[in-house]
Amino acid sequence: MRPARWLITGVGSGLGSALARAALARGDAVAGTARAMADLAAFEALAPGQARGFRLELADEAAVAAVAREAEDVLGGVDVLVNNAGYGLVGAIEEASPDEIRAQFEVNLFGPLALIRAVLPAMRARRAGHIVNITSVSGVATWAGTGVYCASKFALEGAALTLADEVAPFGIKVTNIEPGGMRTDYSGRSLRQAARAIEDYASVAHAARRVLADHAGHEPGDPDKVAAAIIKVVDAENPPRQLLLGADAILYATRHMARFQAELGAWASVSLSTGFDQT
């Protein structure tokens, strides 16, 4: 097998950095994006000539398309796109402003979709490729106080699962990676808080802020092990379309699905009552 050619967003820290390092260590070529020039310089220093950095603001769709074209040219093709960059927003739905909501979707949904659209023509021409989206268990199960973040991840999940059906005839694979808590800087520079605070939500929605702050630096997920799992997925002949990573991710997703199944059964008669009567 020839070395794979990766385009990974958000290589400046956290999971993006861990995944880039793992791919480079096995001889793959990586085009990585970050917002800070210092992060890009550190990334390229990992493997000069093998690691190529690009400054990118995911909210700038024209820049997204340009970076995808440059990565295609520099690498000689993109085999694997990893939509990793993003950030979290904590706050009750009522507290989040329209601007905060739009900004969250620009980075967590519209940016990744723009990158997907940008790499697909060349992948279709080659009849090969793998698109990996780092969503979250929050794209499967919700958590009070993170509703806008969850909504952005649910939206990416739905778009990517649909995409998987659309591009399967072209030999292109799609996987949503759904990690639980990881020991990255998510609770630091990758987390924002709604500017407005409503006291009524102190005992419920605001608990998310306290939990994230209390667990910062003690999250159970190891980003290096998550990176190794992603590489295993990319190497697989038949990779999963969705993959939960972490015991906490499995716990929260299982609770969500169990509640859904229970309500489905309890309300089945109502669900089935809405059709036209048979004549």
Active centre residues (catalytic): 149
Residues 11 and 30 sit within 8 Å (Cβ to Cβ) = yes
Q: Beta strand pairing status for 80-83 and 129-134?
A: parallel
Give the Cα-Cα-Cα angle 156, 34, 118 (nearest 5 degrees): 50
Find where tokens 């440059």 sit: 70
C-alpha 112 chain-centroid distance = 8
- Between CA 125 and CA 217 the distance in angstroms is 44
- b or e along 60-90 (b: 16 or more beta carbons within 10 Å of the residue's beta carbon)? ebebbeebbeebbeebebbbbbbbbbbbbbb
